[in-house]
Amino acid sequence: MRCAWEFRHESWFADDVYEALRVGNAALCVADTAEGHTPLVATPDFGYMRLRDEGYKKQALEQWAKSVQELGQGWQDAFIFFKHEESGMGPKLAQEFGSLLAQQPR
């Protein structure tokens, strides 16, 4: 079973927590919020990200695609979710993001 933890207090962003997640092959959820984003730390053999800005521009999506490529070198799978509320832009952003990932060198 795979699981991901989304911590919302900075006290959880510590080496001992990352090590516990690695031991349990559990993901640190990388969440991009209005306050900033979770540290870019890979803990298991898969990735889990929540990209919550409904207004990502191409440059921001390119940067996130680059982050996924760098962070996810040891991932077998990646689960990346876009905000779907209010304006319903999530599917369009996910499609653009997928295209950008396909263009990234491996």
Structure tokens at 94: 């996910």
Spans in the chain with pLDDT lower than 70: 84-85, 104-106
Measured distance CA(81)–CA(93) in Å, rounded: 10
pLDDT score of 104:
67
pTM (two decimals): 0.85
Three-state SS for 24-76 is: CCCEECEEEECCEECCCCCCCCEEEEEECCCCCCHHHHHHHHHHHHHHHHHCC
Domains in the chain, CATH or no CATH each = 4-101 (3.20.20.410)
